[in-house]
Structure 1
Amino acid sequence: MSDQRGSIGGRIASARKLRGLTQGQLAERVPCSKSLIAQVERGHKPATQALVAGVARALRVGVGELTGQPYGDESRRADRVHAAVPDIRRALLGWDLPDEEIRPRAFDALAADVERASALGRQARYGRLGEMLPGLLEELTAAVHGADHPERLYALLAEAYTGATAIAYTLGYFDLRSLAMERVDWAARASDDPLRIARTQWQRSTLFLANASYDKGGRLLARIRHELGEDVARMDAPTVSVYGAAHLRSAIFAARTPNAAGAWAHIGEAWECARLLGEDANHYGLEFGPSNVAIHEVAVAVELYDGAEAVRRAGLIRLPDTVAPVRLGHYYIDLARGFLYNGNRTKSLEALQTARRAAPQQTRNHPMVRETVRMLVDLERRRPKALSGFASWVGMP
Structure 2
Amino acid sequence: MREDTSEGVGPRLARTRKLRGLTQQQLAERVPCSKSLIAQVERGHKPASQALIAGAARALRVEVGELTGQPYHDGTPREDLVHAAIPGLRRALLGWDLPDEDVRPRPVAALRADVQRASKLGRDAYYGRLGEMLPGLLEELTTAVHEAPSADRAALFALLSEAYTGVTAIAYTLGYFDLRSLAMERVEWAARQSDDPLRVARTQWQRSTLFLVSASYERGARLLNRIRHDLGEDVGRMDPATLSVYGATHLRSAIFAARKPNAGEAWLHIAEARDAARLLDADANHYGLEFGPSNVAIHEVGVAVEMYDGTEAVKRAARIRLPPTVAPVRLGHYYIDLARGWLYHGNRARALETLYAARQAAPQQTRHHPQVRETVRMLTDLERRRPKSLSGFASWLGIP
- TM-score (structure 2 length as normaliser): 0.98
Cα distance, 1:148 vs structure 2:
1.9
Match of 1:335 in 2: 338
Cα distance, 1:373 vs structure 2:
0.1
- Give 2:138's aligned amino acid: L
Equivalent runs, 1:200-349 vs 2, <5 Å: 200-349=203-352
Deviations 1:66-101 (A, max 9, x none): 000001123322322200000001000000000111
Cα distance, 1:15 vs structure 2:
0.5
Distance 2:366 2:77 in 1: 17
Cα distance, 1:236 vs structure 2:
0.3
Deviations 1:266-291 (A, max 9, x none): 00000000000000000000000000
- Give 2:377's aligned amino acid: R
Deviations 1:366-389 (A, max 9, x none): 000000000000000100000000
Distance 1:273 1:80 in 2: 41
CA contact (8 A) 2:6 2:398 kept: no
Match of 2:390 in 1: 387
CA contact (8 A) 1:50 1:212 kept: yes
Match of 1:137 in 2: 138
- Give 2:89's aligned amino acid: I
Distance 1:389 1:73 in 2: 15
Runs of 5+ unmatched residues, structure 1: none
CA contact (8 A) 1:117 1:160 kept: yes
Equivalent runs, 1:1-397 vs 2, <5 Å: 6-149=7-150, 150-397=153-400
Runs of 5+ unmatched residues, structure 2: none
Distance 1:22 1:103 in 2: 59
Cα distance, 1:262 vs structure 2:
0.2
CA contact (8 A) 1:5 1:11 kept: no
Distance 1:28 1:308 in 2: 27
CA contact (8 A) 2:348 2:379 kept: yes
SS in 1 for 2:85: helix
Cα distance, 1:30 vs structure 2:
0.6
Distance 1:101 1:72 in 2: 34
Distance 1:9 1:266 in 2: 32
Regions of 4+ moved over 4 Å: none
- Give 1:105's aligned amino acid: R
SS in 2 for 1:319: coil
Cα distance, 1:5 vs structure 2:
8.8
- TM-score (structure 1 length as normaliser): 0.98
SS in 1 for 2:84: helix
Distance 1:124 1:76 in 2: 19
- Give 1:354's aligned amino acid: A
Q: CA RMSD in A?
A: 0.9
CA contact (8 A) 1:78 1:361 kept: no
Deviations 1:213-247 (A, max 9, x none): 00000000000000000100000000000000000
Question: Percent same amino acid at aligned positions?
Answer: 77
- Give 1:273's aligned amino acid: A
- Give 1:260's aligned amino acid: A
Distance 2:140 2:79 in 1: 26
